[in-house]
Structure 1
Amino acid sequence: MAGSEFSKETFCLMWHCYSPGISKQQVRVNFQSKFNRKSHAEHDVKIEELWRGKLSGDVTLYNGMKFRLAGMSEDAEKAPSIELDIGLTCYRDFQCTNYSSESERLRSDGLRDFNESQAYMSDPLGVSAILITSDDKVVVEKRSTKVGEYCNMLDLPGGHAEPSNVPGWKQEYEGNVQCQDAFLSLKSSDIVNEIFDSIVQEVVAELNIPRDQLSEPHLVGILRQMLSFGRPSTLFVVKAVDIRENDVRRMYGEGGEEQFESVDIEFVSLEDIQCGTWRSRSEQFTPSAHAAFYIIAQSTKATATED
């Protein structure tokens, strides 16, 4: 479902299709440099200094190239197929635009100069998993104090699709978002594959669940996180096959490659999401978790209406 966005305090839902979601065969990517962040002459000269300031803090930050989501559209003739307008950005620019003290001004300037609030924002495309256990629980992680976003909050497993994982990417492209060779070298279908593959890899790395016990991901939503001034993120449903809450706790306790990003895990039942009882501590959840729970609840209402 595309069109008018659902405005919430913490997120803005651009598109959703919960049941059953869409596969990678229903997603296309339009990968061009025109979808990169616009250069802001006054702010961009400050980015290196801002980045150095962030690196001097207590959090662990790494720069690297990311895909930038500039927009999306739904194919009216092949609904619910969608097309994503993708450019390049980097994590440094994200921290220094979407997480800058001047974020509000950058959005205002974007509206003034391009009639687009996100024009000057980095907006790297995040990926998040609605990981559902076989006993109908959604897994959430309590983020550590060392991560660059949403410290100590409850979040879905996730991260980013990585341009460096796409066939054709070369080391020489790193740090140059305007490199035309990069836009000529990467195939759109391979970028789609990386977006879908990356979310499964994040679940494996963060929760230590074997890949062969996870279903293929289905895209169910795309949102903008309003607490980070419009940063976009995708939501995928991934099911843990024959794995219950206790199994996930055990696997997580054995340690995963990226377990350092969280300090604990919790579980929210689908029943609690559908009934809204999780809202009693809604301030503890990130925008992606809010959007995921909203989509699940709306899907339940739609199913009940159809019945």
Structure 2
Amino acid sequence: MDTTPSELPHIVCLLRDSLPLEQDDVSVCFDPARFARKTNPAQEQAIDSQWRRQCRQNPRLFNGSKFRYAGLRWTGAPQLQLGLTSYREHIGTNCRAGQRLLQEAGAAVHGDRQAFLADPLGVGALLLTADNRLAFVRRALWTGEYPGRLDRPGGHAEPDDRAYLTGVLRDRDMGGRPTLEFVVSSMQVEIAHCPRPKLERIYNEGKHAEADESLGLVFLTRLELFSDSCVIRVPELDEVDAECPGGGQIETLAEVVNNPEVNAPEGADAATAEKSVEEAERERKAKLWEEMTPACRGSLMLLKQVQLKGFVFRF
């Protein structure tokens, strides 16, 4: 499967008055029978064949149970509708070459484009460090999805972690695979209280969960992402396919930059060599958008709208 990002994800914006949601703002309806993937014998045989083939090509793959995202119901507040699926089913449906045919069949037979797909629910989080950086990871080359691409950290949220939900993404290149997108600030998570060098040291120790699934860390400042002179242009939500099911407005976050060095004129005696290094670094970072996974791009677009309760982002 070609996993080169070709499309921005479909975005469901869950911000309320430009604020992300806290844990108590979201409910879950878990019903494995009601929200199960629709099946038929031919499809199950194709899933089994696809899984065996992928395991031969990549012996490090392993199966495991996952929550299946069946949709979002809005009754004054968002309710996640979840069933059960597996990584094996994900490989055999969302990641197969005929994923769009499965979506067309689901729409025709069940009135639901995702009926025949596994749609395991992923979790992604943009981590804001103590020295005002956004931390990204470079995906390992052996991974089954977007090898070598730039991504936000993902996995499973711990019950005691304090994270803010910004929206739901569906990756069109992965048959509409869903992810919940969060923002985690240095004010909420212990590891994020450390500056970039310490976080890099912790990462390089390789003791974190699934450490071999990424190759390294990449840090970007808000100025490089969201300022008037940004290196990477992050689109506005109203420029793309985005929904706001709560009935609120999708608003543009006003930029407040508290950095006296921004827009400061360069010294007349600045060395030509230094300018060349700066220009090369800017060009390198400008290309990072092309290297990001669709979910990483969508997560940044959601972050562009966010103002968290109780404190202001400092970048």
Do Structure 1 and Structure 2 share a fold, with TM-score over 0.5? yes
Letter in 1 for 2:305: Q
TM superposition score normalised by structure 2: 0.71
Partner of 1:249: 200
Q: Does 1:92 align with 2:38?
A: no
- After superposition, where does 1:202-281 map in structure 2 within 5 Å? 216-240=162-186, 241-257=192-208, 258-275=210-227, 277-279=231-233, 280-281=286-287
Q: Secondary structure at the match of 1:34?
A: coil
Q: Secondary structure at the match of 2:215?
A: strand
Cα distance in structure 2, aligned partners of 1:245 and 1:221: 27
* Structure number having the greater helix percentage: 1
Partner of 2:294: 287
Which structure has the bigger radius of gyration?
Answer: 2
Cα distance in structure 1, aligned partners of 2:96 and 2:134: 32
Partner of 1:22: 21
Q: Secondary structure at the match of 2:232?
A: helix
Q: Secondary structure at the match of 1:249?
A: helix
- After superposition, where does 1:180-199 map in structure 2 within 5 Å? 196-197=157-158
* 1:110–1:117 contact (8 Å) kept in structure 2: yes
Unaligned runs of 5+ in 1: 1-7, 162-195, 201-214, 301-307
Cα distance in structure 2, aligned partners of 1:253 and 1:153: 19
Deviations 1:39-89 (A, max 9, x none): 13322222112111000113621101100001012332xxxx310010110
Q: Secondary structure at the match of 1:221?
A: strand
- Pick the aligned partner of 1:110 from 100, 106, 110: 106
* 2:13–2:302 contact (8 Å) kept in structure 1: no
Q: Secondary structure at the match of 2:202?
A: helix
- RMSD of equivalent CA atoms: 2.0
Partner of 1:45: 45
Q: Which runs of 4+ in 1 moved over 4 A?
A: none
- After superposition, where does 1:51-66 map in structure 2 within 5 Å? 51-58=51-58, 60-66=60-66
Unaligned runs of 5+ in 2: 1-5, 187-191, 234-285, 308-315
* 1:59–1:145 contact (8 Å) kept in structure 2: no
Report the number of matched residues.
Answer: 239
Residues 51 and 229 of structure 1: is their aligned pair in 2 closer, same or farther, counting only changes over 3 Å?
A: same
Identity %: 30
Q: Does 1:134 align with 2:134?
A: no
